[in-house]
C-alpha cells in the first residue's frame, strides 16, 4: 500500500457507495482508480504524472470528471 492509498477500513466505507451493476465494458478496479484520484488531489501533480500502479491516467481522469 502506497502512502496515499486507502486503508482497508476506508475502502469498506466507500465500496458500498459505488455502482456494482455492470453496463457494457467491464469497469477497471474501482479501488485502484480512487487511489489514483486521491493521489493527484493530495500531491497536486498533473494527471499525466500519475504513477503506473494506478492505471492509465486518462481512465482515472475520466472517472474523476464523471
Report, as an integer, the average pLDDT of 9-14.
94
Helix H, strand E, coil C: the string for the chain is CCCCCCCHHHHHHHHHHCCCCCCCCCCCCHHHHHHHHHHHHHHCCCHHHCCHHHCCHHHHHHHHHC
CA atoms of 43 and 12, how far apart (whole Å): 24
Dump pLDDT digits (tens) for 33-49.
999 999 999 999 999 99
Task: State pTM to two decimals.
Answer: 0.86
Amino acid at each position: 500500500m502506497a502512502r496515499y492509498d486507502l486503508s482497508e477500513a476506508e475502502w469498506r466505507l466507500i465500496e458500498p457507495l459505488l455502482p456494482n451493476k455492470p453496463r457494457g465494458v467491464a469497469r477497471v478496479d474501482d479501488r485502484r482508480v480512487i487511489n489514483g484520484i486521491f493521489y493527484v488531489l493530495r500531491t497536486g501533480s498533473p494527471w499525466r504524472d500519475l504513477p503506473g500502479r494506478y492505471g492509465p491516467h486518462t481512465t482515472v481522469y475520466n472517472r474523476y470528471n464523471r
